[in-house]
């Protein structure tokens, strides 16, 4: 989980790292855009060799939810 949170943080430009935890509601971040969603999908594919789809992102609220979706696809 820590690796995923760190990788997610790497996608961000202006958000303080202390705000990014497994409990972060990522869609409420000021930086959250459709471009960031695409970057997230690419990062997950590269790091975890898993393909997240738009349903996975839509259904998730927290980073922990996204990580759970990744784990289920591994």
Task: DSSP letter for 19, please.
Answer: G
Fold (CATH) for 2-73: 1.10.1200
Q: What is the pLDDT of residues 33-69, one digit of tens each?
A: 999 999 999 999 999 999 999 999 999 999 999 999 9
Residues 6+ apart with CB under 8 A from 2: none
- pTM confidence score: 0.92
> Rounded distance, CA 71 to CA 28, Å?
23
Q: Can you give the pLDDT at residue 60?
A: 98
For the chain, give every domain's residue range.
2-73
Give the rounded distance of the alpha carbon of 71 from its chain centre: 13
Q: What is the pLDDT of residues 7-43, one digit of tens each?
A: 999 999 999 999 999 999 999 999 999 999 999 999 9
């Amino acid at each position: 989980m820590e690796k995923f949170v760190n990788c997610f943080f790497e996608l961000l430009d202006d958000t303080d790292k202390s705000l990014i935890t497994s409990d972060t509601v990522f869609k409420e971040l000021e930086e959250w855009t459709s471009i960031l969603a695409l970057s997230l999908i690419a990062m997950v594919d590269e790091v975890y060799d898993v393909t997240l789809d738009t349903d996975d992102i839509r259904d998730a609220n927290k980073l922990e939810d996204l990580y759970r979706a990744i784990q289920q696809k591994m």
